Amino acid sequence: MEKAKLVIIGSGPAGYCAAIYAARANLNPVLFEGFMSGGVPGGQLMTTTEVENYPGFPDGVMGPELMAKCRDQAARFGTRILTEDVGSVDFSKRPFKIFGGNTQVEAETVIICTGATAKRLEIEGAGDGEFWQKGVTACAVCDGAAPIFRNKDLYVIGGGDSAVEEAVFLTKYAKKVFLVHRREELRASKIMADRAKKHPKIEILWNSEIVKITGDQIVQKIHLKNLKDNQIQEREAGGVFFAIGHQPNTAFLNGQLKLNEAGYILVHNGTCTSIEGIFAGGDVQDWIYRQAVTAAGTGCMAALDAERWLAHQEH
């Protein structure tokens, strides 16, 4: 089994930023950037288009390009990057054991940055190779400003805070935003729910679900089913946005760290997890902000926390 001072599990802004800091601190980090499971190497930005809110890029930057630059920066300072998924870990005692697809490493300290994956619905027309990323997306804030959505009827699926937030965000571009919810009461907090109900450009479609998405090159229509009377209506649509929550990528931990009820890693004092010597950054521990820049920030914090913890062990 290989030995390392620090293993970083997961990539994206958090993992790469943790690696940049750790490598520059001469910790020779090994980074498992992932391969197939959960998200993709580079995280959620790999599936988005233009990122306009990451500081330092006044003209915007494509998500995959930003992640390629972060990866290069991590490699430049000596991070060993493995394009492998971590299938399981053994955190029962130190050194911690990490079991990758091909490589197994014993680490003195570990940073987890495996992110979260936006949940998608299996609707006819919404899949890869259909209209996914051609009008169907799971991130209004990332994709909503694209020209294809301008002045169109847009549909947001979900009834939680994310759905309301995304619907309100989309009103800047849309002709009208329809919030499609499967029940007749929103899950969102009262203040957010009121915001949706009062907004002149938002209409809530209660007890409804989208059962089919059609179009040519991009989305043109949806089939909306009323769950009370099972009637199906065909409607014009410029886009469909899933806002039904995220799934943190924590299954590989197999219950070894404390998680909240939604599966996110619980952290305290910065990025400390429930096991001393194991830290977490990025969306895997953040169900509130979930931005590239906050992920990079907490990745940096995790590297500094790990470095200080290692220094403390050696004295």
CA 66, chain centre distance (Å) = 15
Residue 248: its H or E element: strand 246-248
In this chain, which stretch among 56-64, 158-166, 220-228, 250-258 interacts with ligand NAP, using CB under 6 A? Answer: 158-166
Q: According to the binding rule CB under 6 A, does residue 244 interact with ligand NAP? A: yes
CB of 264 to ligand NAP, least distance (A): 9
- Known catalytic membership, residue 143: yes
d(CA 98, CA 84): 11
Using CB under 6 A, which of 44, 48, 117, 162 touches ligand NAP? 162
CB of 289 to ligand NAP, least distance (A): 9
DSSP string, 108-119: EEEEE---EEE-
Q: Are the beta carbons of 2 and 103 closer than 8 angstroms?
A: yes
CB of 99 to ligand NAP, least distance (A): 31
In this chain, which stretch among 88-96, 156-164, 170-178, 198-206 interacts with ligand NAP, using CB under 6 A? Answer: 156-164
CB of 243 to ligand NAP, least distance (A): 6
d(CA 201, CA 204): 10
Cα-based distances in Å from 69 to 13, 226, 291:
10, 46, 18
Inter-residue long-range contacts of 62-67, CB under 8 Å, 24+ positions, other chains counted: 63/142, 66/13, 66/292, 67/11, 67/12, 67/13, 67/16, 67/42, 67/43
- Known catalytic membership, residue 300: no
Q: Which two tokens stand for residue 306?
A: 């790990």
Name the catalytic one among 143, 153, 286, 305. 143
Per-residue mark of binding to ligand NAP, 260-289 (x: CB under 6 A):
---------------------------xx-
* Interface positions, 104-133, toward ligand NAP (CB under 6 A): 121
Q: According to the binding rule CB under 6 A, does residue 101 interact with ligand NAP? A: no
**Could you list the residues that contact ligand NAP (CB under 6 A)?**
121, 157-163, 165, 182-183, 187, 244-245, 287-288
